[in-house]
A = this chain, B = another copy of it.
């Protein structure tokens, strides 16, 4: 073949890992999945491609510009840009086959043609859980979600992280009480607090035409600090006579009580009245999760409660609560900040190296190890021992077994710990005992 060589490159904004990093990435995916399953969430796997009219039923905005949309034949189709819209479509479509409350998890890739910049990806994994009620969904569900976040991040190896909890009704009720109509805009401004600071928020609010007096009240409100019980007391003391506010405060009080009961340590969750979550569809509880020592990474797990999941696809009322971990971006940031490292990762425990003429014995030993469930690779090529040791080293394979004449005659094999360089002569039974 004398064809031209095509440069083997991928599109910008796509993450592709070398195997040692991929092992670490998969380990994190597995931990997330295992935790979701431990809490009774059921797996769902929806198509990556959907009908555009279905994906965009909610319509326009930023999403429509970012979406990968195309035609095949006469069909207008698009790649999913999140897992929430497919969930809504799924629950509406399979309504009669599902049992409510429906707990589902989905882990999969989604696509957004965002502007290309460092740390932003156009293809990325989302790891979602949601609990969907049929008509109603008890508020205690909102308290169980943080216990899933806690369990997951704890097992991912994090100790110091805080799940920040708020309730949109408290914000909305408060805004109503001070006669602010466009609470969505105010919420969006408040949501930027971390990025633009209190003065930035003040300025944005004044730009909306809100009076200095009212801006002062907002500033005072979002400055309420203290431990969870203190904040709840302060909110009660405001004696705001607004139904929505009162409902939100009741909900938050219940959620905080049960988050504790669900075993989340006090250090790992906190009410934060400035958390609003920009997305329109949250209506009650909202969450964001921060690594205490790496706040600049932003929220590593967010979500909240919504009144109705699938208004665009069904008349059934389907309230729900859920969260999402954007693992691709998180993984990238954790690697960049050296919070995680992929050194020493290996799925393979041992490399069997048969010397020239001892392939048959090598295969037999390999079979025996695999029968014992030990992840084993056999080196089938010819080559110098130093080169093969180097190969094992680069793959982080912790042990090698060398098999040659001496080994076969004495039924004792050279068993080498690649980390320490220590080499012992052991029987196969002893090696298996060692490796297990």
Contact = CB atoms under 8 A, between A and B. Distances in A.
B11 A50 contact: yes
A238 interface: no
A339 interface: no
Q: How large is the interface on A (under 10, 10 to 19, 20 to 34, 35 or more residues)?
A: 35 or more
A101 B92 CA distance: 49
A118 interface: no
Given A11-B77, A68-B72, A313-B6, A43 B16 contact: no
A117 interface: no
Contact of A138 (B5, B40, B46, B382): B382
Contacts of A44: 17, 19, 22
Contacts of A23: 42-43
A315 interface: yes
A97 interface: yes
A111 interface: yes
Question: 5 closest A-B pairs (Cβ-Cβ)?
Answer: A40-B377, A70-B70, A8-B93, A19-B42, A8-B313
Interface of A: 1, 3, 5-11, 14-19, 22-23, 25-26, 37-40, 42-51, 53-54, 57, 68-73, 75, 77, 79, 88-90, 92-94, 97-99, 101, 103-104, 109, 111, 113, 122-123, 133, 136-138, 140-141, 144, 151, 258, 261-263, 310-315, 347-348, 351, 359-360, 363-364, 366-367, 370-371, 373, 375-378, 380-382, 391, 394-395
